[in-house]
Structures are given as C-alpha cells and as structure tokens.
A and B are shown apart, each in its own frame.
Chain A
C-alpha cells in the first residue's frame, strides 16, 4: 500500500471500449426513442435505473410513455406485463442481476408463460462492472435460458443494439436484451452485417481458427482476429447475437472441420454459449474439441474492470494469447 499513489479501480464508471475503437452514446435509449416516434405502442419502464440503462433518453423524449416504478424489480416485471396485456409494447430496464435474480418468478410466469411482447433490458450483463458479485451478472443467461419461449439477445456493439430494438418490438413474444450502455463501441459497421433474431452471422472469414462469440466478446474476437493476422493466424468470427433460439445450423457448419474452434462469451462457463454449442454438437454428432473462453464458475473479484477482464481472460490481449497457446504457439 502506497500512501501517495493509491491504486484506483474506477469500479463505478467502467468502459468496455478498447483503445481507438469508435463509440456511440446511449444507442439503446436513442433507438427506443426513435422507434416510439413510429410505433405508438412502445412504452419504457425502469426500476430507479433510468440514468444507468440509457432509458433516460427515452424518458426525456416521451415522458408520458415512461413509467418509473421505483427501485422495485418485481413490480417492474408485473407492471410491464400488465401493460403488455393491454396491447402496449413495454421495454423494462434494470440491471441484469436484479432482473434475473430478484424478479425471475415474475418474468417466468407473468411475461414468458403468456408470451407477452415485453423486452427486459438488463444493464451490466456478465462482467461489465468491477463492483463485485452483487452487480456482476455472470450467470444471467444461465438463469434465463431455461424459460421456454424467451428470446435472449446478446448484442456485440451499438450497431447490434440499434437494430435489435425495433426487431424485438416487431417480434410478438418476450425477450431479454443484454444491454450495452453509455459510450458503446461501434465495430460491426465495418463488416457486411445485419442483425436478425435467431441468426448467427459469419462476420469475418478465416482459415485457421473459428471464434464463435456473442455480446461484447464478438468485438474482442474481431480485434483479436486483426492482431492474430500479424502472427499469420487467419481467424474467422461467427457472431451469435441471439443466444436463444440458437442458430445451430450456422454454428455447427462453421466449427465442423479442421479449424480450431473456440467459444467466447461474457458469461460463466456454466449455462451460456459454450454449453449451448456443446449440447448442439452432441445432439447432432459433431465431434471436435471445443475450447471455452468464459468466466470461471466462481463469484468474481471486485476491482478495476480492465484488470478483471485480463484476469478472467476476456480482454483482447488475453484472447490473443489464448488462441496462440491453443495453437501451440504460446
């Protein structure tokens, strides 16, 4: 411990943007506000986290269509469900941990079972804050994947978020959107990519390695792929923006072959993308060794987010090193 230069963690305001990557401010809030101009069924709700889930942008644009339920996540889900039964299309935001852990019963029975068109918007999915286990939603997908008929979307960047918002409103049933908030990286517009519910996309072709990724790990995969090309490693990136329903066709076609396949997810190794792909492989008789880049099955440390992403293997540097090691070139 040094008295003069205490080591700072910036645990509260953490950015997921790698250096030099362009960002867009509050893409979710702006996309929802814009959608509401065209579709008067759209309403927004939050449980005292409007400012922290970019819902405040919608609230400012459409104050009469915004409902603040206070810090009450169970009420958030039941109120959203009630509004949906009247024909509205609610987007309800809180942090992923509180949506999944506290309000699960209300999501399952009031939103999902009746197949209502509610989008649950979860801020701080996976490991996107250094604030410790209370805020790190490392198992949000594992919790929600078991709910029949609930669409789970894990967007990579601002482009994905902007396209997912109108798509989820247009689709009839319930959905969970893993929110990227604040200054959100923008990478997919450099590729020929379009978001579609239930479709995985080969964003980048490559001959040596296949990275099957979702969420912000697709951004990391694309950055790692560029770096790996300097090591003469040709990397393909397959982005799974929808984790459920899962596009097994595309993913299994891509990993069934001589290339080294890895899954990359901002989630526990239990119950997320890796296990989704692995179970599809077993069911369809695809037998290749699949390696996960995922969070360990632990309550994670508190601290600085970049440090934690290095520690748990999610940073671009860590992905580059991991791929080289798997290729025997570490």
Chain B
C-alpha cells in the first residue's frame, strides 16, 4: 500500500531498486498500449517513465482503490498527450487493472488518447489543451491548504508548455501565494510539435528563469532513477503548506529504455511499425535485465 510508504522508512538503495522495477513495468505498459492502438505518444511515455515511477513509488501518498480520498496527494498531468504514461502508472499503482491498458484509445474505453478526469479514475485533470496544469496545481494547493488537508500537489508538464503564457502566470501566482506544498516536474525532452525545442523557441536557462520567478529550481537527468530519488526526497522534505514552490527540470531521452527508439530520428510523433512492437518489448526487457535500465 502506497499510503504506508514514506521515503524515510526505506534506505535509498531499496527505494531506487523499487523505482527501477516500477519504471520497467510502467514502460512495458506504455508499449502494450502503443501496440494495442498502433500509435500513441510512446517515445514521450518511455522518456518520462522514470519521473512517474519515482513520483508514484516514492513520493505520492495515495489510496489507489479510493481515488477520491480528499487527503490524497494530487498528481496532475498537464501534458494530456502523455496519457498512456499516466495510465500505465495508475495500473502500476493499482487504480486501474493492468489488462485494461489494452483498451487504450479504443471506442468506449475509459482510457482516451488524451487524458481526461471525466473518463479515468485517478486522472485528476483533463489535458489536451496544453498550459493548463500549473495553474490548476496552484489552485489545488491553495484549496488543500485552505481546508488544512495534509496533501501535496505534484504536477508534470512538458518543455513545450514553457512557451505558454499561462504557465508563467501560474508560476507567479505560486510564488506570490507561497504554495510550498507544490512540486512541479518538467519533462525536458527537447522536442515539441514542429521539431526540436531549440529550433522552435528558446527555452534555455530554465533554472535561472524559475529562480527569478521565486521558485526553488533544480535540473536533473530525468532518466537517472537514483538522481530522481535523491532530488525528490530532498524536495519532499522541504514541502510545507506555506513556503517556496519547487520545480525539477528533468532532461529526458525520447524512447528511453528501448535502444531502437532512442537511436531513431527524434520526432514529436514517432511512428512504430506493426512488426516492431515485439522487438521494442524484447529490447526493453533486455535492457532492464542487463541492469542498464
């Protein structure tokens, strides 16, 4: 049960090992969904899997069978097209059955291609339109604080969402209202719809930018589970209802964990051929068993 698990009761090594196992299962769930539907934002899901594995295994206090528990920590996925990653994490947490992943984006499924709170238990907000998550997170943190609930708010958004003014409006609201129980992750995969982020819009210097907006900011290798565990542990220890909001900028690799995808031309929408799915799964397992992931 995730509720009884607090970061301090585990040694770091056990925590890292548990997160690695979770990350592997989450990645496999991403591939299962991609194979079932024949498409999906698989490369992004694999790239950001370690962030969700650490969040769901090592940070969030949830009652997986009771997704409406008022005191739960909130995990808000701002980047709606990362839905398949969140579904996989929710399957890992036990909120939805693992077998249900095969219905991803099918007609009538609870798991639409873009994550929506009205469709899926455990999904807190409706994404799809980008740049909403951080503002929703600020409001959630304020609401929980006002009602004195011992609950923290965690949000994941993408580097593309750094382009949206709404993200920066929310950034100022958070530091101004001192939402210290708010932790943001940014998936810095270097990609957005029209191509590599640096060719679309300059989003360099993010640590300095967030610090200047009154946040505590760190940048880590978002595919280094050990580093993530350390950063998240430290961030969690600092979280407090009134305080400085924190952001972790995670450099990730599209397709991480599956070499044949990591080495492929980087695209926002990476196509994977029908016969490639089993090979992707095999490579993922080999990497994991070889201790490389």
Contact = CB atoms under 8 A, between A and B. Distances in A.
B129 A98 contact: yes
A70 B126 CA distance: 22
A11 B105 contact: yes
Nearest to A136: B128
B93 to A, nearest CB: 21
B269 interface: yes
B145 interface: no
Interface string B180-224: 000000000000111100001100000000000000000000000
Contacts of B201: 48, 68-72
B102 A70 contact: no
Contacts of A68: 194, 200-201
Residue among A52, A134, A135, A307 having the largest count of chain B Cβ atoms under 10 Å: A134
A276 interface: no
A130 to B, nearest CB: 8
A1 B160 contact: no
Contacts of B40: 12
Contacts of B130: 71
Contacts of B113: 9, 11-12, 130-132, 302
A46 B194 contact: yes
Contacts of A130: 113
Interface in B111-139: 112-114, 116, 119, 126-131
Contacts of A46: 194
Contacts of A98: 129
Contacts of B36: 6, 8
A177 interface: no
Contact of B160 (A7, A9, A51, A71): A71
Given A1-B99, A8-B38, A134 B127 contact: yes
Contacts of B105: 8-9, 11, 302
Interface string A8-43: 111111000000000000000000000000000000
Given A68-B200, A134-B126, A302 B39 contact: no
Interface string A63-91: 00000111110110000000000000000
Interface stretch (B4-12, B13-21, B161-169, B242-250): B161-169
B112 A302 contact: yes
A12 B130 CA distance: 16
Interface in A132-165: 132-135
A252 interface: no
Contact of A71 (B112, B116, B127, B193): B193
A9 B114 CA distance: 13
Interface string B216-238: 00000000000000000000000
A101 interface: yes
B106 interface: yes
B263 interface: no
Interface residues of B, number: 39
A102 interface: yes
Contacts of B268: 51
B37 interface: yes
B112 A13 contact: no
A97 interface: yes
B194 A13 contact: no
A282 interface: no
Interface in A266-310: 301-304, 307
B275 interface: no
Given A3-B102, A74-B165, A303 B107 contact: yes
A112 B71 CA distance: 47
Interface string A46-58: 1111111000100
Residue among B36, B107, B119 having the largest count of chain A Cβ atoms under 10 Å: B107
B194 A51 contact: yes
Given A51-B194, A68-B200, A131-B128, A13 B39 contact: yes
B164 A72 contact: yes
Interface string B265-293: 00011000000000000000000000000
Contacts of A132: 112-114, 116, 128
Contacts of A133: 116, 126, 128
Contact of B165 (A6, A51, A75, A131): A75
A68 B201 CA distance: 8
A301 to B, nearest CB: 8
Contacts of A7: 106-107
Residue among A10, A301, A302 having the largest count of chain B Cβ atoms under 10 Å: A302
A130 B38 CA distance: 15
Residue among A49, A72, A98 having the largest count of chain B Cβ atoms under 10 Å: A72
Nearest to A5: B36
A59 B15 CA distance: 49
19 contacts: A1-B100, A6-B103, A7-B107, A9-B106, A12-B39, A12-B40, A48-B200, A51-B268, A56-B194, A71-B163, A71-B201, A102-B129, A131-B113, A132-B112, A133-B128, A134-B128, A134-B129, A135-B128, A302-B112
Interface of A: 1, 3, 6-13, 46-52, 56, 68-72, 74-75, 97-98, 101-102, 130-135, 301-304, 307
Given A102-B129, A134-B80, A307-B107, 13 more contacts: A7-B107, A9-B37, A11-B112, A46-B194, A47-B163, A48-B192, A52-B193, A72-B165, A97-B129, A98-B129, A133-B128, A134-B127, A135-B129
Shortest Cβ-Cβ A-B pairs, 6 listed: A134-B128, A70-B201, A70-B163, A6-B36, A302-B112, A71-B163
